[in-house]
Amino acid sequence: MTTTTAIGIDIGGTGIKGAVVDLGTGELLSERIKLATPKGGKPDDIIETTRELLETVSSGVGDLPIGVCFPAIVKNGHTMSAANVSKEWIGLAAEDLFENGLDRPIHFVNDADAAGYAEARFGAARDVPGVVLLTTLGTGIGSALLNDGVLVPNTELGHLEIDGHDYETKAAYSAKERDDLSWEKWAHRLQKYYTTLEALFSPDLFIVGGGVSKNYDDFIPLLDLKTRIIPAVHRNNAGILGSAALAVKFPG
């Protein structure tokens, strides 16, 4: 029997969010629960907060598949980097740690990859052929690369070196706020970033995610690209949707 519902949990540097997802429609079947990420983002503290959240989300819904997305490169269940959480995560067998702490099997994935998969399954990249690049503009720049809907994991394209800089430090939304940039000046930096991505990947579509994508009219029209660029459909829910869908595609 095909599983039609799953739980998605999105772990970030400031909040941990989760809900039950309808995998046919991409709608949330429960209230989206959000708890603050413990200060310092240490492994034991995050796992305990995730356990508390899961107890609330899973109450009354039975034993559903669980997907967890996390701000790190994820290889073979290990976190090989750490963005806005403790550096203690680097090199950890994090999937095993979560499964032991939650006493449940999970599917564990990078957060931007989960967002990209959500857009492919339920959003702006659905049924789009060819190469699609999703970028999330926030504290940093996350990326997800899809080819004919198939995810290529852990691209980490926010860390491209451009003009001698790790370019997320220049073009993330946090850089706009830090440097008090107008939309026009920020778009100038984004222009350089997306032009570089065009030269490297020749994509068929760019999708812009992250909270700032709700203001897409303020900056997307300022970009002059060969590639079509559009806002993501699922912003705050993308990680939840993608991790839930991947939990069923690749059961724990």
For position 139, what pLDDT does the model report?
Answer: 83
* Residue 228 in tokens: 């079509």
Q: What angle do CA 197, 199, 204 make, to 5 degrees?
A: 70
DSSP-derived secondary structure letter, 123: S
Give me the pLDDT at residue 2, please: 62
Angle at 233 between CA 228 and CA 238, to 5 degrees: 120
The predicted structure's pLDDT at residue 250: 73
Which 8-state DSSP code applies to residue 6?
E
Residue ranges of domains in the chain, CATH in brackets: 5-113 (3.30.420.40), 124-231 (3.30.420.40)
Q: What is the pLDDT of residue 92?
A: 98
Specify the pLDDT at position 252: 56
Collect all residues with Cβ–Cβ distance below 8 Å to 161 and sequence separation of at least 6: 167
Averaged pLDDT in 10-residue chunks for the chain of 252 residues: 86 93 95 96 98 94 93 96 93 97 96 95 95 93 94 94 96 96 98 98 96 94 98 91 92 61
Q: Is the pTM of this model over 0.85?
A: yes
pLDDT of residue 1: 46
111 contacts 70 by C-beta, under 8 angstroms:
yes
Question: What confidence score (pLDDT) does residue 79 get?
Answer: 98
